[in-house]
Amino acid sequence: MFAALPILVLGELSANDTRARSQEQSVQADARAAQRAADVVDARARDLLTGLRSVAPNVELVRAMSQPSSGASLDMLQRLLRDFRLALGTDVRQLAALDLFGTVRG
C-alpha cells in the first residue's frame, strides 16, 4: 500500500499538469481567434472609411445638397446616395445625407 502511494501522487500531479497545459492551449487558441476577428473588423472599418472619404467631396453631391429641396434635387440626391452605397459595398445598408442643421435630405 505504501509503495503505491507515491505512484498515485505522481499520477495525480501529472494529470493536473496535463489539464493546466490543455487549458492554457485553449485560452491561447481563443486569444488568437479573437485577434484574427479583430483584425478583420479593423480592416473592413478602414476600407469603409476610405470609401466614405472618397465619395464625400463629390461635386454632384455638394451641388445637390446646396440646392433648395425639390423633387428634382431629391431625385438626384437619392440616385447619388444609392450609387455611393453600392460602391461602398455590402457593409453599408443605408446611406443618408444631412444638411448643416441635421435634417436628412436623402
Please name which of 55, 42, 53 lies closest in space to residue 81, comparing C-alpha atoms.
55
Alpha carbon distance 72, 44 (integer Å): 34
Report percent pLDDT > 90 for the chain.
Answer: 21
Alpha carbon distance 44, 89 (integer Å): 10
What is the value of pTM for the model shown?
0.55
Residues lower than pLDDT 70 in the chain? 1-11, 13, 106
Report helix, strand or coil for 43. Answer: helix
Alpha carbon distance 51, 91 (integer Å): 11
| Predicted local distance difference test score (pLDDT) of residue 33 | 95
